[in-house]
Amino acid sequence: MIRRRWDEELGISTLTPIRGIGERLAAWHAAGGARVDFVNCDVTDFPALLELFARVQPETIVHFGQQRSAPFSMIDRDRAALTLINNTLGNLNVLWAMREIVPDAHLVKLGTMGEYGTPNIEVEEGFITIEHKGRRDRLPFPKSPNSFYHLTKVADSDQIYFACRAWDLRATDLNQGVVYGLETDDTPADTALVNRFDYDGVYGTVLNRFCVEAALGYPLTVYGVGGQTRAFLNIKDTVRCIALAVEAAAVPGEFRVFNQFTEIFSVLELAKRVQHVAAAAGRAVTIDHLENPRVERETHYYSSVNTQLLSLGLEPHLLDDAAIGGLIEAADANQERIDRAQIAPTVQWSDPSRAMARGVRLNLRASGGAGVTAR
Amino acid sequence: MIRRRWDEELGISTLTPIRGIGERLAAWHAAGGARVDFVNCDVTDFPALLELFARVQPETIVHFGQQRSAPFSMIDRDRAALTLINNTLGNLNVLWAMREIVPDAHLVKLGTMGEYGTPNIEVEEGFITIEHKGRRDRLPFPKSPNSFYHLTKVADSDQIYFACRAWDLRATDLNQGVVYGLETDDTPADTALVNRFDYDGVYGTVLNRFCVEAALGYPLTVYGVGGQTRAFLNIKDTVRCIALAVEAAAVPGEFRVFNQFTEIFSVLELAKRVQHVAAAAGRAVTIDHLENPRVERETHYYSSVNTQLLSLGLEPHLLDDAAIGGLIEAADANQERIDRAQIAPTVQWSDPSRAMARGVRLNLRASGGAGVTAR
């Protein structure tokens, strides 16, 4: 629930009004949902976590208690430090508490496809068999995280893999793509169950932003060239993937990594999809290319394996015009809640005065020249 | 200086008496050493670090302010958490302080060869070119750290690499092997300049332990089979490597990784070397195989590249009988300071009751069968 405090500090809020946890749980139970208990326990508080595990004796732990925004972690040192402590110290606590109280429980942890960065080879699910100088091994897939937030997710994954090797814990690391969509199968039962719709420069994700811009008749704001290519999934599939991971649990000592996404798009492709759907609904919008606030490659190869969740039975909800139209309508319905000042990027990855030399090197890298630097 | 407090808490101490920092600096200056200023500043205190960098305006930052023991980080959750905060939050602070105050300074950071684990392919210096499904890229070498301490070193390296990409900082990551030896070229000038000689189960390293055991006439205690193979270097070479990295600095945006070691030995080889040298000096000792307190492969392939420091001019001091004999004599000379209760391993990586299933899997892995688990 700390998100509410951070939103206040940053002066941002979700487009959809989110009720208090008590009201949401009451609505859930009134709608006939299975029993959900709530305990207010901070994962960075180790004694509280031990006490909770001892009392509940969980068979499965789905760990979502993390700061999840890359721009938030790049605002300043204090937010980077908060992200490290909350995420990676919290993750360390979960592992030690499992070791001490429930070593046979199954940990399901949310990671991100962003851990891998954008390598020039196909991304595998967590591990890759490398042939090198006539020998071979299956090793963790090399990662190049591009924010302090992404760095914490890589550190978490490394910790969990170690705990599985050393302590015979069992875990599933879900490397999730960018989530879009507002409703799951359960949320329409009550307006109090609605999900967040973040569109701001810190917590908003790209498809949400485009749909809010389309609802306002604003230009769709692509960062840089827009060739940044990422993995996506519908929030309905997020929920299903977690259920699949829980139902077909890892075995003791096993560290599984599932790449949790259903489709791959470039940012510019998404902008064009939104533009097309908006136009069909009588909302003509243009596409603007803003200076990229992030340090990242804007054109690059991208491909990734995602077979494990599909083989467990995931049936993808692909991004169609109806899904995009629904998001634009949701934004339109909440027009009076849109803070227009929050749409533009507010966090710069780097001091612009140092960007020129870097731009030269990133371009070298994109064109295949490694140069003398470790890019 | 926090090591002194940890030593007290654990009831351990270095075999060689280490004087207070004031006395050591006075001895250094009396011996004609170049000016060294001392400021008591904790790297986890970000405002103090900012103030220090602003006042000193360093051209080079050699960052050694870390908890450096794997067993210490495995004692309990609190020591694991302390290691994470001290090392990785401290490292994050150094990077943000560099960004804000001295973005053109060169960071020289001590890493460890232990970050790589023991892959079945040759370890490269930080990066590896991977050919995969008809494509190729040069990516960070995959790492499999085997303790919470090693996990922090991997996280630090990832942070530094990111800061070089995003902020155009420049850095050299020195992945150091296991250090042995007591004296550098400078320390003989005054007994107050002597280095630590740790032989205990938490901070002691393997060659030190064998030499202390030989001095006492105790059996040399090999953990498990003793096929664990590691990279080593003399402390004289440690000092030289840091100087070489500082003199031939990285360029802006560059993240260099040097594998800082000169030789590779298995634990059993080292035991036999010490046994041989001790016997020649009239000290007959046997070799004992203890149950391994760590979770690690005891027989495995190991090879690593270490050409970059050699090409910068490193002239290795190889491990010879004289070096081993000197350590045994140093232990002998400090016999009255040896706490015999501290020699045996005191920290277990894992609950022994969970070890049997793991042993089966580790053996599967060593024999090339990957099984269903991610080992």
pLDDT band at A365 (very low <50, low <70, confident <90, very high): very low
Is B44 within 8 Å of B59 (Cβ atoms)? no
Calpha distance B218→B232 (Å, rounded): 24
pLDDT band at B359 (very low <50, low <70, confident <90, very high): low
SS3 sequence of B218-255: CCEEEECCCCCEEEEEEHHHHHHHHHHHHHCCCCCCCE
Looking only at the bridges linking them, the beta strands covering A263-266 and A229-234 are antiparallel
The pLDDT, as a whole number, for residue B2 is 87
Q: Tell me how close the Cα of A101 comes to any Cα of chain B, in angstroms.
A: 12
Kindly report the CATH number assigned to the domain that includes residue B45. 3.40.50.720
Q: Which residues of B touch A349 (CB under 8 A)?
A: 166
Q: Is A300 on the interface with B (CB under 8 A)?
A: no
The pLDDT, as a whole number, for residue B356 is 52
Q: Does residue B371 belong to any structural domain of this protein?
A: no
Calpha distance B154→B176 (Å, rounded): 13
More confident of the two residues A273 and B356: A273
Please answer yes or no on whether B354 and A103 come within 8 Å at the CB atom. Answer: yes
The pLDDT, as a whole number, for residue B227 is 97
Candidates B256, B351, B357; nearest CB to A253: B357
Q: Does residue A373 belong to any structural domain of this protein?
A: no
Share of chain A above pLDDT 70, in %: 94
The pLDDT, as a whole number, for residue B355 is 55
Q: Which of A121, A127, A161 to mutate to test binding with chain B, by most B CBs within 10 Å of its CB? A: A121
Q: Does residue B359 belong to any structural domain of this protein?
A: no
Q: How many folded domains does chain A comprise?
A: 1
List CB contacts of B162: < 8 A, sequence separation 6 or more. Answer: A144, A145, A146, A147, A148, A151
Q: What is the mean pLDDT of residues B92-109?
A: 98
Calpha distance B180→B208 (Å, rounded): 7
Q: Tell me how close the Cα of B96 comes to any Cα of chain A, in angstroms.
A: 6
Residue B62 has pLDDT above 90, yes or no: yes
Q: Does residue B104 belong to any structural domain of this protein?
A: yes
pLDDT band at A346 (very low <50, low <70, confident <90, very high): confident
Calpha distance A166→B300 (Å, rounded): 17
Q: Is B358 on the interface with A (CB under 8 A)?
A: yes
Helix (H) or strand (E) holding B26: helix B21-30
Please answer yes or no on whether B85 and A81 come within 8 Å at the CB atom. Answer: no
Please answer yes or no on whether B120 and A131 come within 8 Å at the CB atom. Answer: no
Candidates A80, A143, A350; nearest CB to B92: A80
Q: Is B166 on the interface with A (CB under 8 A)?
A: yes
Please answer yes or no on whether B251 and A139 come within 8 Å at the CB atom. Answer: no
Q: What is the mean pLDDT of residues A129-149?
A: 98
Q: Does residue B153 belong to any structural domain of this protein?
A: yes
Q: Searching chain A, which residue's CA lies closest to the CA of residue B134?
A: A121
List CB contacts of B265: < 8 A, sequence separation 6 or more. Answer: B229, B230, B232, B273, B319
Domain interval for residue B194: 2-354
Residue B188 has pLDDT above 50, yes or no: yes
The pLDDT, as a whole number, for residue A370 is 34
pLDDT band at A371 (very low <50, low <70, confident <90, very high): very low
The position carrying tokens 């009004």 is A17
More confident of the two residues B325 and A357: B325
The pLDDT, as a whole number, for residue A374 is 31
Residue B34 has pLDDT above 80, yes or no: yes
Q: Which of B100, B139, B148, B169 to mutate to test binding with chain A, by most A CBs within 10 Å of its CB? A: B139
Q: Does residue A372 belong to any structural domain of this protein?
A: no
Q: Searching chain B, which residue's CA lies closest to the CA of residue A360?
A: B253
Structure-block tokens of residue A41: 């326990």
Please answer yes or no on whether B142 and A128 come within 8 Å at the CB atom. Answer: yes
The pLDDT, as a whole number, for residue B374 is 32
SS3 B170: strand
How confident is the model over A226-251, as pLDDT tens digits? 999 999 999 999 999 999 999 999 99
What are residue A132's phi and psi, to 5 degrees? -150, 120
Q: Which residues of B touch A100 (CB under 8 A)?
A: 77
Q: Which residues of A284-309 are buried (b: 16+ CB within 10 A; e: fewer)?
A: ebebebeebbbbbbbbbebebebebb
Q: Is A143 on the interface with B (CB under 8 A)?
A: yes
The pLDDT, as a whole number, for residue A359 is 54
Residue A366 has pLDDT above 50, yes or no: no
Chain-centroid distance, C-alpha A102: 27
Q: ∠A96-A102-A105 over CA atoms, to 5°?
A: 105
Q: What is the tally of helices (H) and strands (E) in chain B?
A: 13, 11
Interface of A with B in 30-49 (CB under 8 A): 46
Interface of A with B in 234-273 (CB under 8 A): 251-257
Q: Does residue B365 belong to any structural domain of this protein?
A: no
Helix axes A46-56, A90-101, angle to 10 degrees: 40
The Cβ of residue B216 has, within 10 Å, a number of other Cβ atoms equal to 16
Q: Is B197 on the interface with A (CB under 8 A)?
A: no
Structure-block tokens of residue A305: 């394996």
pLDDT band at A318 (very low <50, low <70, confident <90, very high): very high
Q: List Cβ<8 Å contacts ≥24 apart for B269-272.
A: B270/B206, B270/B207, B270/B210, B271/B210, B271/B220, B271/B222, B271/B226
The question of whether B299 is a catalytic residue gets the answer: no
What are residue B310's phi and psi, to 5 degrees? -60, -40
Q: Tell me how close the Cα of B15 comes to any Cα of chain A, in angstroms.
A: 31
Q: Which of B88, B112, B187, B262 is catalytic?
A: B112
Q: Tell me how close the Cα of A161 comes to any Cα of chain B, in angstroms.
A: 8
Q: Searching chain A, which residue's CA lies closest to the CA of residue B148?
A: A159
Q: Which residues of B touch A366 (CB under 8 A)?
A: none
pLDDT band at A16 (very low <50, low <70, confident <90, very high): very high
Mean pLDDT over the full length of chain B: 93
Q: Does residue B362 belong to any structural domain of this protein?
A: no
Q: Tell me how close the Cα of A184 comes to any Cα of chain B, in angstroms.
A: 32
